[in-house]
């Protein structure tokens, strides 16, 4: 499966949760598949989906899912120790690991070579780290939500993209709509 196929499959699970979605194609795909006020789309700032999600989870009680990519986690690798040492049991980091920088033309990442983000997350002190196959992402994600334990999921999938439009929604509208959904 490629990332957009995973997103399509887990969309019914994401719909009821607060979602912080990574820059570029992941946000564009989620926006096209199932736009919800509970989705925060990143239009820039590669690497910070996990940090924004953790801050949000620590600030309020609802479940927060950060959708990140292997390339973006590598960009902000310092996020994993911060997550490990600031446990928020309403926080799930879902790393869709396709071993490539999808939004920029599928250049390979080190996560697709020798580096295991699962092992890195564990070494950083994250207590619940689950690596799964693309087809199992929905099941693992639902279990993580139900467990009410902070979880890092590394979903190993194929690289590949679909053609789709950019998000033209104004950032302040995205943010305002999202904050109202957080408070609802």
Partner 1 sequence: MSIHKKIVDDLVANNVSFVTTVPCKQLAGVIEEVEAHKDIYHIPSNKEDEGMGLCAGAFMGGKRPAIIMQNTAIGVTINTLATLTQYYRMPLPMIISYRGELREPVACQVEMAVHTKALLNQLNIPTYHFHKHEDADELDAILKYTFMCNKPVAILTDASFWGGYGDQ
In the bound state with partner 1, the residue whose beta carbon lies nearer, of 57 and 144, is 57
| 169 belongs to the binding site for partner 1 (CB under 8 A) | no
Give 35-39's long-range contacts (Cβ < 8 A, gap of 24+).
36/181, 37/177, 37/178, 37/180, 37/181, 38/178, 38/181, 38/182, 39/14, 39/178
Gap between the Cα atoms of 118 and 151, Å rounded? 11
Residue 158 Cβ vs partner 1, minimum distance, rounded to whole Å? 28
Task: List the interface residues with partner 1, window 67-86 (CB under 8 A).
Answer: 76, 78-79, 81-82, 86
Minimum CB distance to partner 1, residue 160 (Å): 26
Quick one: 93 or 140, whose CB is closer to partner 1?
Answer: 93
> What would the 3-class secondary structure string for 23-76 be?
CCHHHHHHHHHHCCCCEEECCCCCCCHHHHHHHHHHHCCCCEEEEEEHHHHHHC
Among 14, 57, 111, 157, binds partner 1 (CB under 8 A): 57
Query: Taking the CB of residue 108, how many other CB atoms lie within 10 A of it?
Result: 13
Among 11, 43, 87, 130, binds partner 1 (CB under 8 A): 43
Task: Give the nearer residue to partner 1 in terms of CB position, either 1 or 83.
Answer: 83
Nearer to partner 1, 20 or 132 (CB): 20
Q: Is residue 125 near partner 1 by the rule CB under 8 A?
A: no
Contact at 8 Å (CB) between 134 and 113? no
Residue numbers at the binding site for partner 1 (CB under 8 A): 20, 40, 42-45, 47-60, 64, 76, 78-79, 81-82, 86, 171-172, 174-175, 178-179, 182-183
């Amino acid at each position: 499966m490629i990332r957009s196929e995973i997103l399509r499959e887990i969309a019914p699970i994401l719909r009821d949760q607060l979602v912080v979605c990574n820059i570029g194609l992941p946000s564009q795909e989620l926006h096209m598949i199932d736009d919800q006020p509970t989705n925060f789309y990143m239009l820039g700032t590669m690497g910070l989906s996990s940090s924004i999600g953790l801050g949000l989870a620590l600030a309020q009680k609802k479940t927060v899912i950060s959708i990140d990519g292997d390339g973006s986690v590598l960009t902000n690798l310092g996020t994993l120790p911060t997550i490990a040492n600031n446990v928020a049991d309403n926080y799930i980091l879902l790393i869709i690991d396709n071993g490539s920088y999808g939004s920029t033309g599928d250049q390979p990442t080190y996560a697709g070579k020798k580096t295991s983000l699962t092992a890195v997350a564990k070494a950083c002190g994250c207590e619940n780290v689950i690596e799964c196959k693309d087809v199992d992402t929905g099941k693992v994600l639902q279990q993580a939500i139900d467990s009410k334990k902070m979880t890092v999921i590394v979903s190993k999938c194929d690289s590949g993209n679909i053609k789709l439009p950019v998000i033209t929604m104004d950032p302040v509208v995205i943010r305002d709509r999202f904050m109202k959904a957080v408070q609802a």
